[in-house]
């Protein structure tokens, strides 16, 4: 899939409306992790250099269609100003007289960040009238929010009904890298899935049981599959109503020659123990778990096994931690996978907010991997083969 990008159009002197994903964590009133902002900087700098008038739109948090002070974009604007070393113009709304005034006063090469689009309920409803109001602020629309590309909202897809639409440089890179995985994967291909629930990963599990040589599971997902294989999982987090589904997926994968690997041993804690950095743990065989323990990470033997499988692959896709990595006693499994993915010579594609948070915790640079996606859900849906609304709007070459 070749798509039109900002390189394919004339932007000089034009009002360029850019939908970014600046939904960043805030700590003590300031941006904590600026990764999403940094990823959009090449597009913003390109437009500045081309003397466009740059108008940025983003959602922030979940204000549910109302103005919520803690979800204003002011901290994001401050961080963006610092990173670009330039003034960022702002408005207290993303539509209306003030937004129109701010945009009308922009000079070529200047940047404005308008207020949170989700302060309007019409945003998530993809309301046509609201989308038209947003579109009136620009001459060209640039889709740059891959992390929100699986959502059909007014600011992600609605605007495209009214303005010429192209991809930003980040969106272009995301589509290019994930297309390579979907249409031309390198074998042996290994998929690693963690996290708590199966729901958002059913499709990608089934798709990759056709494509992958091996699927490594950890976290709550693995617990559900262990239960499907008849293991007692004590007080561990799992989805009882998904056990039958897990059995079906195991059989489908086996029939297709794809091996789903579950932890042989697990790191556990007492079910009633308070979780902290000092929680007492035990590494125990998966088939011998007592009823009063809960699984919170993959064990040492499984860490080694998963790493060896990663080293034997030529392409690795990873989404989701395999343990409660936020606490030291349960970080080793996720850390072992992160380090193996960083060291392997294979093509490595990573995604998901928790996965990126783990890299930050372990001080592993995203540059150690072939591609680190800014989208978790969007990445999974793309790899599942679903059409993403925010990608489908892009003009094809």
pLDDT digits (tens, 9 = 90+) for 196-210: 888 888 889 999 999
Range from 22-36, 122-136, 288-302 carrying the lowest mean pLDDT:
22-36
The reply to whether 352 belongs to the active site is no
Catalytic member of 352, 353, 375, 390: 353
107 is in which domain, residue-wise? Answer: 6-170
Name the catalytic one among 15, 36, 294, 332.
36
Of the residues 153, 170, 187, the one at which a domain ends: 170
Give the pLDDT confidence score for residue 200 in this predicted structure. Answer: 82
Last residue of a domain, one of 170, 197, 216: 170
Residue 392 domain-assigned? no
Catalytic residue (one of 138, 158, 351, 377)? 377
Mean pLDDT, range 8-32, rounded to an integer: 93
pLDDT at 345 > cutoff 80: yes
165 Cβ contact partners less than 8 Å away, ≥ 6 residues apart: 140, 141, 142, 143, 159, 393, 394, 395
Number of structural domains found in the chain: 2
- Cα 81 to its chain centre, rounded Å, is 24
Residue 257 lies in a domain: yes
For residue 147, what is the domain's CATH number? 3.40.50.1260
Residues in the chain: 397
- Model confidence pLDDT, tens digit, residues 152-201: 999 999 999 999 999 999 999 999 999 989 888 999 999 999 988 888 88
Whether pLDDT at 395 is above 80: no
Confidence band for 262, pLDDT divided at 50, 70 and 90: very high
Residues 163 and 185 in one domain: no
Q: What is the pTM for the complete model shown? A: 0.91
pLDDT score for 282: 93
202 shares its domain with 158: no
Whether residues 165 and 231 share a domain: the answer is: no
36 catalytically annotated: yes
Q: How much is the pLDDT for 331? A: 97
**Helix, coil or strand: residue 53:** strand
The residue annotated as part of the active site, out of 176, 197, 207, 386, is 197
Q: Which of 131, 147, 170 finishes a domain?
A: 170
183 CB-near residues (< 8 Å, 6+ apart) = none
Residues 198 and 146 in one domain: no
377 is catalytic: yes
The mean pLDDT value of the chain amounts to 94
In angstroms, rounded to a whole number, what is the distance separating the alpha carbons of residues 353 and 333? 17
Catalytic, 197? Answer yes
What confidence tens digit (pLDDT) does each residue in 65-103 have? Answer: 999 999 999 999 999 999 999 999 999 999 999 999 999
């Amino acid at each position: 899939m070749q798509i039109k990008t900002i390189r394919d159009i004339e932007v000089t002197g034009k009002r360029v409306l850019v939908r970014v994903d600046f939904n960043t964590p805030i700590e003590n009133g300031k941006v904590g992790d600026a990764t999403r902002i940094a990823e959009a900087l090449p597009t913003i700098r390109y437009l500045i250099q081309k003397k466009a008038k740059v108008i940025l739109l983003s959602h922030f948090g979940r204000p549910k269609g109302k103005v919520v002070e803690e979800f204003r974009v002011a901290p994001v604007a401050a961080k963006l100003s610092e990173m670009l070393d330039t003034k960022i113009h702002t408005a207290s709304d993303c539509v209306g007289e003030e937004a129109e005034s701010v945009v009308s006063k922009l000079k070529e090469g200047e940047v404005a960040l308008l207020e949170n689009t989700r302060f309007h309920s019409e945003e998530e409803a993809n309301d046509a009238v609201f989308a038209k109001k947003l579109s009136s602020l620009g001459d060209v629309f640039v889709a740059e929010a891959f992390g929100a590309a699986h959502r059909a909202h007014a600011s992600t897809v609605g605007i495209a009904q009214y303005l010429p639409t192209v991809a930003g440089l980040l969106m272009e890179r995301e589509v290019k890298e994930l297309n390579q995985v979907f249409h031309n994967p390198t074998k042996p291909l290994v998929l690693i899935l963690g996290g708590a629930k199966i729901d958002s990963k059913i499709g990608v599990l089934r798709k990759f049981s056709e494509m992958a040589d091996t699927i490594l599971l950890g976290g709550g997902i693995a617990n559900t599959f262990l239960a499907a294989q008849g293991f007692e999982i004590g007080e561990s987090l799992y989805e009882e109503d998904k056990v039958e589904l897990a059995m079906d997926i195991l059989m489908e994968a086996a029939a297709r020659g794809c091996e789903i690997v579950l932890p042989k041993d697990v790191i556990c804690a007492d079910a009633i123990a308070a979780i902290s950095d000092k929680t007492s743990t035990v590494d125990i065989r998966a088939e011998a778990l007592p009823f009063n323990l809960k699984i919170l990470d993959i064990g040492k033997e499984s860490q080694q096994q998963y790493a060896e499988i990663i080293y034997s692959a030529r392409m690795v896709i990873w989404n989701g931690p395999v343990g409660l990595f936020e606490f030291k006693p349960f970080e080793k499994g996720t850390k072992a996978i992160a380090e193996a993915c960083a060291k392997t010579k294979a093509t490595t594609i990573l995604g998901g907010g928790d996965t990126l948070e783990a890299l930050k915790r372990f001080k592993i640079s995203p540059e150690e991997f072939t591609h680190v996606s800014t989208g978790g859900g969007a990445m999974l849906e793309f790899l599942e083969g679903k059409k993403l609304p925010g990608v489908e709007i892009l003009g094809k070459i």
